Copies of this chain bind each other. A is one copy, B any other.
Amino acid sequence: MAQRKSRADRRMDLIDAARRAMIQHGAEGVHLNQIAEEAGLTSGAVLYHYPDLRDLLIEAHHAGMERFYEQRIKKISGIADPAQKLITTIRSGLPEGPDDAGVRLLCELGGAAGRNRVYGTLLTTLFDRQVSMYQTILETGAAQGIFTLAQASETISRTLVALEDAYGYRIIARHHSIGPNEAVELILDYARLATGHELRPE
């Protein structure tokens, strides 16, 4: 028998297992048994913790987003210079490669969001939070006279997040000539135009 665990621990395991299973089989194509197997449990045990599987899937997506967002915040938290901060932020929004689990999960959601209000709201919220994140950086830089913004800070921020999203999809789909490095460069090229800063990575 699988090791017995506390309710809280097991739920965390299941959320993780669901994340992995969804990446393998799709957010909507995933089956209870696949999640159970991924968690090293039987389907009964999964149902014991989540009588309604949809709740587990939503929690898994939610957790995936939080993790994604927290990781970004963490990566940029120590950087003082707005220009370097901007560069790092852009990098942190892209998948590391076609198999990047965090972004894969987000991409899964894109289609489902059209059918499922909860998923739509989750994605929308994430988008808005990322926009705010960029806006703070841009306005700090502008206030310090480092950036000369060519557009409203909200417009630039939305554009940056949109570009991350779109190139994320390209990378996941294994575009032959757009990988993580090319995507960073494409986005930076826009950012230079929008901030009037040369944005050279240190």
Contacts and interface: CB of A to CB of B under 8 A. Distances in A.
Contact of A172 (B23, B113, B174): B113
Given A111-B107, A190-B190, A26 B24 contact: no
B26 A110 contact: no
Specify how many copies of this chain sit in the oligomer: 2
A169 B106 CA distance: 12
A113 B86 CA distance: 29
Interface string A156-171: 0011011101110110
B175 A112 contact: no
Query: Which of the four size classes fits the interface of chain A?
Result: 35 or more
B107 A108 contact: no
A195 to B, nearest CB: 11
A107 B107 contact: no
Contacts of A145: none
26 contacts: A26-B29, A26-B111, A29-B29, A104-B114, A108-B111, A108-B114, A110-B172, A111-B112, A113-B169, A113-B172, A117-B174, A123-B169, A124-B170, A124-B173, A124-B174, A127-B170, A151-B190, A155-B186, A158-B178, A159-B189, A159-B190, A161-B166, A162-B162, A162-B186, A165-B166, A193-B193
